Amino acid sequence: QVQLVESGGGVVQPGGSLRLSCAASGFIFSSYGIHWVRQAPGKGLEWVTIIGYDGRDKYYGDSVKGRFTISRDNSRNTVHLQMSSLRAEDTAIYYCAKERRWREYYFDSWGQGVLVTVSS
């Protein structure tokens, strides 16, 4: 079955960097766009970014544009989220999610999430 496993979370100081990874299995990875969605403590869901099936199409939310970079390695079924210039408001659980269909932009499978804490 479809499985998405996030890793790389932790505590980082404001202004620092962190790299999250999402390892996928159970589906044809190279055929689907992958998204990151986050949830700050006590808040709702916020879409962060998407990378298309071949890595060419990328879109970012306004709150992370210019600071976060998404990439993928289809040979390793993995997506990475490079986060830099981190702020306290980036503290959240970060989920990777698979699209139901390419360019449909609904998320039918999610990982369990990884916690990122930005604090001094």
Which residues make up the interface to other proteins (CB under 8 A)? 35, 37, 44-47, 50, 59-62, 95, 97, 100, 104-108, 110-113
C-beta of 69 vs 110, nearer to other proteins: 110
33 and 27 in contact (C-beta within 8 Å)?
Answer: no
CB of 107 vs other proteins, minimal distance in Å: 6
CB of 104 vs other proteins, minimal distance in Å: 7
C-beta of 29 vs 94, nearer to other proteins: 94
CB of 11 vs other proteins, minimal distance in Å: 20
Integer Cα distance of 42 and 49 in angstroms: 21
What residues contact 6, with CB distance under 8 A and at least 6 apart?
Answer: 20, 21, 22, 94, 95, 96, 111, 112, 113, 114
